[in-house]
Amino acid sequence: MKKQQYDVIVVGGGIVGLTAALAMASRHFSVAVIEAGSLSARISNASLRVYAINHASKVLFEHLGIWSLMDETRISPYQHMHVWDSVSNKFIDFDSRVIASKDLGVILEESVIKQALLEKIAAEKKIACFPESTVEQVVCNEDGVTIRCGKKMWQGRLLMVADGAISPTRDLLKIPLSSWPYHQHALVATVSTEKEHRQTAWQVFNPEGPLAFLPLVDSHHCSIVWSTSPIRAQRLSALSDEVFNQELGKAFAHKLGEVALKSTRHQFPLIMRHTKRYAGNNWLLLGDAAHTIHPLAGLGLNVGLADVATWLSCMPASEAHPFTARALGAYQRERKHAVWQTIALMSGLKTVFANPLPPIVALRGLGLGLCNRLTPLKRLFIEHAAGRTNS
């Protein structure tokens, strides 16, 4: 069986995997992208799945020549954030002017990002794509890695694993995983609002979980992410559109007036996952294959893209063979530390805002009010969310 030779093999054709492939090609390495499904993006209709892209992720996309390929008519920047606690009614506001920026980030549909990535890859001679290819065997040794999919085999010097939260390749590598449920499901949909969203991202912390309204290009359209108990999520999914709209408006305190569904509803369980190893003998993990976190701060994809940016910074630029044990060890140390901090922060926020005890309610209300008055502290929060800090 003939082996196809590449410098780098990327398993996973999602946003993080495709970005990793372009990052390696930018360093002049030949890359094979292996994807179990198809490699396509449907952009004719609005995508139900959207992401809040922070400044660090945008810089990475710009560096790789991807940002200019994004459909500008589908990019929705937001300048403000309004976050409040439904029990104490205390709130905190964020404004992009605090960090002297024109926005805090942008909201982008998954399909728009993927289309830009695929367009860039189609023009990149150093990248070959192999869709509909399920990885069946992985062999890593001192000389590199060998991947087998049926009768096809690929050999490379580095394996980059980005095939999602339920990663078959991670399992083949026998990498242990820490995991626990958040005991919540996220319900996502697109809605129209009576009032304009004013390029503001909104989030309310309710006792059963946070509810976010993310502003889309149309000033009266938002993408919602509603985290709540599994039982309530099932009930909300089964409601008629009219009753669901009423429940949604009530949970959101009618901040934008009446709301109405514009799409189907989709729900999924929220689970924390964190691999115990990020790198090994000529391999590394990226994105959801390495970690999944609560979506309450919208950081999930940004954390995965930060994996790519960190690996680029860890590779020695001057060496012909930069996939060294030292570089892989540096990547593991930096990402495990940073991601664990984010996991702890998300878990802490979820726990604090879900606690109904009056002393806790009073303390978090006091904390929100205090933070809202301290501009330097708000600036620190914004810088962290934007990915501009090293922590």
pLDDT digits (tens, 9 = 90+) for 300-352: 899 999 999 999 999 987 666 789 999 999 999 999 999 988 888 777 777 77
pLDDT of residue 361: 77
Q: In what order do the strands lie in the sheet with 158-161?
A: 127-130, 31-34, 8-11, 158-161, 283-285, 279-280
pLDDT of residue 390: 47
pLDDT digits (tens, 9 = 90+) for 14-67: 999 999 999 999 999 999 999 999 988 776 666 778 999 999 999 999 999 999
Mean pLDDT of 269-278: 94
SS3 label, residue 244: helix
Rounded distance between C-alpha atoms, residue 264 and residue 312, angstroms = 39
pLDDT-based confidence at 285, cuts 50/70/90? very high
- Find out whether 56 and 388 touch, Cβ atoms under 8 Å: yes
Mean pLDDT of 169-180: 94
What are the residue ranges spanned by the domains of the chain? 3-81+110-179+271-353, 183-269
pLDDT of residue 391: 40
Q: Compute φ and ψ for 74, nearest 5 degrees.
A: -110, 10
Whether 3-81+110-179+271-353 and 183-269 share one fold: the answer is no
Which fold would CATH assign to domain 3-81+110-179+271-353? FAD/NAD(P)-binding domain (3.50.50)
Neighbouring CB atoms inside 10 A of 54's CB total 24
Which fold would CATH assign to domain 183-269? D-Amino Acid Oxidase; Chain A, domain 2 (3.30.9)
